[in-house]
Amino acid sequence: MKILVTMGRGGTGKTSFVALMTKYFVEIGESPLLLVDADPDQNLGEMVGVELHEKGKKSISELLVETFLEEGGTTVGVPPTERIESRIWAHGMYEGECFDFIALGTKWVEGCYCLPNAALKGALESLTKNYKYVLIDSPAGLEHLNRRITSKLDDIFDVIDPSKKSFNHVERAHRVAKEVKIEFKNFYVVGGFRFPESLENQARSLLPFRFLGRIAYDSNVEGYVLAGKSLLGLPSDTPAYLSVKKIMENAGYGKV
Ligand SMILES: Nc1ncnc2c1ncn2[C@@H]1O[C@H](COP(=O)(O)OP(=O)(O)O)[C@@H](O)[C@H]1O
Ligand SMILES: [Mg+2]
């Protein structure tokens, strides 16, 4: 099992990158695949054509609140980790043909909910073992990952835009990942769709991490997002998808 996570500033194209990565893994036949929407904005579902509530599913936050805050300690004898894990399988997991999907949701406000956080982490550790790849769409920081999902990752993809802030973000992101005690094997930098070719050499030479390439600007992506259509349905020769394919190949996935 491998866990891949995106990070980067808002609007750099993280979520669409995860959606296109999903399309790539589906097309090269890598499965089973679990997508985790860990961003409170929650737009990964829309980009891969899943509306949890329409499918009768709940976010993990909603399940945590039901299980630990509203019900209290009713189910005597069942450890909290197992309780929430079976709830997730039954009510939180969208099981699709090509991938499964869960969303952490927003109802869960951060705080010292030590029991639920620990239970969730245990449940997700056990649950993710069933997959070959787990793709996490995450908000900018990684602190929440360590607390709620996992402390061991395989790849971090930091998606950057052409700003001084984004360049600084890379170093900070790497430092934060270390500070919050996330273990990871690879830290990659990916140029977002606004990142110009002219800055590529600068990114390669200035940043102390491997630059995998740029995601191409693609009006099809814009159009699909605007129409609320799944990016999995994009033509396989659309520029953004072709660039993501190359990026994934550079990271060692699929044919090299
Ligand atoms: N490759 C692309 N080409 C053109 N526009 C894109 C591309 N990827 C994303 N976008 C546009 O940028 C917006 C933000 O993308 P998104 O993936 O949601 O970024 P983030 O998750 O980093 O906030 C999308 O709504 C979409 O319209
Ligand atoms: Mg996003």
pLDDT of residue 73: 57
Domain that holds residue 34: 2-57+131-250
Q: How far is the CA of 14 from the centre of ligand 2 (A)?
A: 5
Please work out whether the CB of residue 105 comes within 6 Å of at least one atom of ligand 1: no
Q: Does 114 reside within a domain?
A: no
Strands 100-103 and 94-95, sheet pairing: antiparallel
Locate the ligand 1 atom nearest the alpha carbon of residue 19 and give its number: 17
pLDDT of residue 64: 87
Q: Does 124 reside within a domain?
A: no
Nearest-angstrom CA–CA distance, 99 and 30: 10
Which residue type is seen at 135?
L
Tell me which residue has its CA closest to atom 19 in ligand 1. 13
Torsion-angle region of 52 (φ positive above 0: left; ψ -120 to 50: alpha; else: beta) = alpha
Q: Does 108 reside within a domain?
A: no
Q: Does 18 reside within a domain?
A: yes
pLDDT of residue 18: 98
Choose which residue among 215, 222, 229, 241 to substitute to test ligand 1 binding: the one with the highest number of ligand atoms within 8 A of its C-beta: 222
Task: List, in sequence order, every beta strand (DSSP E) within 32-151.
Answer: 33-37, 94-95, 100-103, 133-137
Q: Does 94 reside within a domain?
A: no
Q: Does 111 reside within a domain?
A: no
Q: Does 30 reside within a domain?
A: yes
pLDDT of residue 72: 64
pLDDT of residue 173: 79
Choose which residue among 16, 138, 194 to substitute to test ligand 1 binding: the one with the highest number of ligand atoms within 8 A of its C-beta: 16
Which residue type is seen at 207?
L
Written as tens digits, the pLDDT of the chain (256 aa) is 999 999 888 889 999 999 999 999 999 999 999 999 988 778 999 999 999 999 999 999 889 888 887 776 556 678 889 999 999 999 999 999 999 999 988 765 555 566 777 888 889 999 999 999 999 998 766 767 767 778 789 999 999 988 777 777 788 878 877 887 888 999 999 999 999 888 888 888 888 899 999 999 999 999 999 999 999 999 999 999 999 999 999 999 986 4
Residue that the structure tokens 């995106």 belong to: 6
What domain count does the chain have?
A: 1
Locate the ligand 1 atom nearest the alpha carbon of residue 17 and give its number: 17
| Domain at 34, CATH number | 3.40.50.300
pLDDT of residue 162: 83
Q: Does 227 reside within a domain?
A: yes
pLDDT of residue 107: 61
pLDDT of residue 255: 64
Please work out whether the CB of residue 43 comes within 6 Å of at least one atom of ligand 1: yes
Please work out whether the CB of residue 215 comes within 6 Å of at least one atom of ligand 1: yes
Nearest-angstrom CA–CA distance, 69 and 71: 6
pLDDT of residue 174: 83
